[in-house]
Structure 1
Amino acid sequence: MMRALLLDRPGPPSSCVGEAPRPAPGVGEVLVRVDAVGLNPVDYQLASGGHPLWTYPHIPGLDIAGVVEDAGPGPEPRVPTGTRVVWHQDLRRPGGLAAYATAPTDVLAVVPPGVGMAAAASLPCAGMTAYQAVVRRLRATRGQYALVQGASGGVGGFAVQLLAAAGATVIATASPSNHAYVRGLSADAVLDYRRDDLGAVLRAATEGRGFDAVVDTVSPASAAQGLRLLRHAGGLAAVAGRPSLDIVEPFGIAPSLHEIALGAAYTHGDVGSRADLAVMLTELLRLVDEGALTPLPIETVRLADAPDALERLAGRHVRGKIVVRLEEPSPA
């Protein structure tokens, strides 16, 4: 048996620390002793609604960092025992808020010696979502104008950094209390998202030409505003719900719309889609290790405090990342 955070039903996190069976790795899988788990808004959303394939009690937590302790049957695993790893878990499986978790070897990224486990656990969901949006889909380049809506959260914070590193002029929206923080992430300007004249001020920030790239992390309504602010042939990456293209004139600005759905690599992708999760995460870890990408501010909490942390994430005003640090597991 092992210590774990257990959800007893769908709804607001009503979990408590209890005992759960220690998982056994299957073919092509490894058993990982969990060190840290990064929390994300999706964890709260999943806890609230549940999933048809879950059985209760369910262990939440999708962004997991730990040490490989054992391997399932089959050929020698690609990741040896004792390796520090991090991954984004398939949401249909039990998560990482427990002493141990299992994962397929092909989704694991090796944590470099210079990167701490809390920093590694803060990367997968938010970092890979931002990487998909900025690097894979929008392909931001020097000289472009880029907008990040909801820049103080996890995805927004990484998106600001990746856009700035690509050479774009980065305009961001956030609440006033977070303006200094977002500027510190390399945003060129930060505006209050509640301004009545926000659309006009944002367009003026591009000298009237419109944005080449928009990353929206807020809502479909916010994404719709971003869509209207694109220049001809600009692109929008929608993280929190896509807008309808019908709000812009056909054969006008000819925008591209990119829906970012990281976990769909498991539910709708193939083997290559899942392996690409490890590719992206390995690249993010390399950037962190080399100092080219800065982990967002991390608040660490205990396993027992994870439900309260998820409640705070639901308010969408958490700055940076919350990471749960697991105590040393008790003997099996």
Structure 2
Amino acid sequence: MMRALLLDRPGPPSSLRVGDAARPVPGVGEVLVRVDAAALNPVDYQLASGGHPLWTYPHIPGLDIAGVVHDAGPAPDPRLPVGTRVAWHQDLRRPGGLADYVTAPAAVMAVVPPEVSMTVAASLPCAGMTAYQAVVRRLRPERGQYALVQGASGGVGGFSVQLLAAAGATVIATASAPNHAYVRGLGADTLLDYHRTDLGAALRAATGERGFDVVVDLVSPASAERGLHLLRHGGGLAAVAGRPSLDTVEPFGIAPSLHEIALGAAYTHGDRGHQADLALMLTELLRLVAEGSLAPLPIETVGLADTPDALERLARRHVRGKIVVRLAGLESI
């Protein structure tokens, strides 16, 4: 048996409880990982409230995981011998990482370099890989371009700002006023309060009326629609929190490209290649962090019993950076 955070039925974070669960057994091509840390994401409380048709209860949540390979099933991966430090983004249909042990396919796991702590490694997958997919894989910004990040103070926003700035773009971001200094410290050139009634005009003015080459929207379909109208000809928008309709812009005009970002869909709609690509993206992020080119976001650590309260705070949407649940050891971040 093992400790785990258990969801007996769909409900709010307060319905989660710490209890005992059977230790999982790895299948073919899978490994059993002893969990060191698991990061919390908005999708955790969103899924808990509605459940999933493929879950069996009690269900163990937790999608962003870092730990040490403890055992392997048949056909073990030679990349991941016992004792290897790994991190990955879990398939949401499976039991998650808020437990002492969890299993997952070896192919989706990235090896954590020695320079990166397990706490930091756990904080990267969902937010970092979503930002990487949006900025590096889809939008491909270039030096001298104007980039907009709408909702920049959260996890995906913080990594997006850094990746855009590293590419040489002029980064303009929206966030609430108390978060302006924080986002500017990540590399944003201009900050605007999203509460402004003239926000659209102010954003366009920030580009000298030129318009944006790339937009990363992390707020809503309505916000993404505003971003779509702020693009210059040939610009691109990555929608993370819901896509806008291209019908809202004149056809054969600015000719925008629209990219819907759905990281976990690699499991539900992708093939093995798409799933292995999750490991490639995370490996690159871990390398950037290890060499100091990408800064981890601020991390608050909590224990397993404090996780329901942490998810409640996350649901109120005022958490800066990441919350990471520590399950083993006292390693510093």
TM-score normalized by structure 1? 0.98
- Equivalent AA in structure 2 for residue 245 of structure 1: L
Equivalent in the alignment of 2:135: 134
* Structure-2 residue corresponding to 1:256: 257
* Identity among equivalent pairs (%): 84
Contact 1:32 1:68 in 2 (8 A): yes
1:77–1:105 CA contact under 8 A, matched in 2 = no
* Counterpart in the other structure of 1:192: 193
The CA deviation at 1:82 is: 0.2
2:240 and 2:260 in contact (8 A); partners too:
yes
> Whole-Å Cα distance in 2 between the matches of residues 199 and 76 of structure 1?
51
1:114 aligned partner, one-letter code: E
Give the match for residue 101 of structure 2.
100
Q: Distance in 2 between matches of 1:256 and 1:279?
A: 25
Q: What is the identity, as a one-letter code, of the residue corresponding to 2:48? A: A
Alpha-carbon separation, structure 2, partners of 1:302 and 1:81: 26
Deviation at 1:135, TM superposition (A): 0.3
Partner of 1:25: 26
1:75 Cα offset (Å): 4.4
Separation of aligned partners in 2, 1:309 and 1:298: 12
How many residues align? The count is: 328
| Equivalent residue runs for 1:162-311 within 5 Å | 162-311=163-312
SS of the residue 1:148 aligns to: strand
Partner Cα distance (2:261, 2:202) in 1: 27
2:3 is aligned to 3
Deviations 1:50-101 (A, max 9, x none): 1000011100000000000100012454311100000000000000000000
Q: Output one character per residue of 1:128-162: Cα deviation in whole Å (capped at 9) or x when no partner.
A: 00000000000011010000011000000000000
> In the alignment, what sits opposite 2:86?
85
Cα deviation 1:199-241 (Å, max 9, x = unaligned): 0000001110100000001111111111110000100000000
Find runs of 4+ consecutive structure 1 residues off by over 3 angstroms: none
Distance in 1, matches of 2:148 and 2:316, equals 22
Give the whole-Å Cα distance in 1 for the aligned partners of 2:59 and 2:219.
28
Aligned residues: CA RMSD: 0.8
Q: Give the distance between the partners of 1:66 and 1:158, measured in 2 at CA.
A: 22
**Within 2, Cα distance between the matches of 1:160 and 1:19?**
41
| Inter-partner Cα distance in structure 1 for 2:201 and 2:28 | 56
Deviates more, 1:212-221 or 1:73-82: 73-82
Answer whether contact 2:200 2:230 (CA < 8 A) is retained: yes
Q: Structure 2: how far apart are the matches of 1:317 and 1:220?
A: 20
Secondary structure in 2 matching 1:199: helix
Specify the SS of the correspondent of 1:130: helix
Corresponding letter in the other structure for 1:241: G
**Contact 2:30–2:76 (CA under 8 A) maintained in structure 1:** no
**1:44 matches 2:20:** no
Cα displacement string for residues 273-324 of structure 1 (whole angstroms, at most 9, x for unaligned residues): 0000000000000000000000000000110111111111112221100000
> How far apart in 2 are the matches of 1:125 and 1:312?
18
CA distance in 2, matches of 1:75, 1:57: 29
* Aligned 8 A contact 1:28 1:77 in 2: no
Q: Tell me, what secondary structure is at the counterpart of 1:261?
A: coil
Find the aligned partners of 1:273 and 1:76 in 2 and give their Cα distance: 18
Question: Would the aligned equivalents of 1:97 and 1:303 in 2 still touch at CA under 8 Å?
Answer: yes
Does structure 2 conserve the Cα–Cα contact (< 8 Å) formed by 1:71 and 1:77?
A: no
